[in-house]
Structure 1
């Protein structure tokens, strides 16, 4: 085999590997929140909500927002630095008291949820920055699923912005 043919073969093989690697990039599926409950569908098969994570800091602490650009966030994770508490907020509103449940690769947990008092309708749940379940969320394989009483199930990609907020509250 000529040297030119060998180089061409190596280039083709490298291109194939790069192309396959691009297929596994952390890009959410272009579909909305699943309808139905987490018990009807394996949580790992629920399509990811469209959007991307963004990390920010403000005078109260840090936050990670998930959603589509130029729109209100679908989901937020905030570290309230003053009391080292993590707040989870999902777009929507409850008719009565409820729970916000999380499913991750290493188990599930639920927290009491209530409507926020802000201008935008969000359902909020809180926990301590030292809650050990935050590690289960942080190390979940590729996704977490959030289920709120009376709401659609939402699958979110597990990107580092959310974990960074957890760490900010532990610092």
Structure 2
């Protein structure tokens, strides 16, 4: 039996779900939801962008785009579990996500990889943070 090579993340099927955008008292939020729950959020508050991948405990998260990759160490607080990465609004990773060719990947220890589309809701949150 032949062993097939692993599929490159760029060739994997997109995670089911959709992005939504909203403003709340703290800033703006782009949220990726599947039929059951929120599975990734990007928020802006006080000139900083936060990426959050919910999970049962502190996780290591890696965000991979077609041009770059960045790793975040798990740092949940008492209200949030999972992986959290906070970046200044001008961080190059944010542009890499927005302009990634068709999709980007969010990996977190112990969870299924997310293959997400770089829809305009993300750019809107980043733009809100930069203004």
Q: Which TM bucket (shorter chain)? A: 0.7 to 0.9
Which structure has the greater CA radius of gyration? Answer: 1
In the TM superposition, what are the counterparts of 1:138-149 in structure 2 within 5 Å? 138-149=98-109
- What whole-Å deviation, never above 9, does each CA across 1:40-77 have from its counterpart, x for those lacking one? 431112221111000000110000011125x3211100
Quote the residue 1:90 is aligned against.
53
The size of the alignment, in residue pairs, is: 126
CA contact (8 A) 1:116 1:123 kept: no
Aligned residue for 1:47? 13
The aligned residue for residue 87 of structure 2 is 127
Rounded Cα–Cα distance in structure 2 between residues aligned with 1:109 and 1:160:
21
Counterpart in the other structure of 2:37: 72
TM-score (structure 1 length as normaliser): 0.67
For 2:108 and 2:126, locate their aligned partners in 1 and report how far apart those are by CA, in whole Å: 21
How far the C-alpha of 1:103 sits from its partner, in A, is 1.1
Comparing both chains, which one has the higher relative contact order based on Cα–Cα distances under 8 Å and sequence gaps of 6 or more? 2
Superposition TM-score, scaled by structure 2 size: 0.85
The whole-number CA distance in structure 2 between the counterparts of 1:116 and 1:155 is 26
> Which stretches of structure 1, 4 residues or longer, exceed 6 Å deviation after superposition?
none
Give the alignment's Cα RMSD to 1 decimal: 1.8
Query: Could you say which structure has the higher strand fraction?
Result: 2
Name the CA shift for 1:49/1:116 in 2 (closer, same or farther; >3 Å): farther
State the alpha-carbon separation in 1 of the partners of residues 39 and 130 from structure 2.
Answer: 25
- Structure 1: unaligned runs, 5 residues or longer: 1-39
> 1:12-45 CA distances to partner (integer Å, 9 max, x unpaired)?
xxxxxxxxxxxxxxxxxxxxxxxxxxxx431112
Aligned to 1:113: 74
Give yes or no for contact 1:48–1:155 (8 Å, CA) kept in 2: yes
Instruction: Structure 2 unaligned segments of length 5 or more: list them.
Output: 1-5
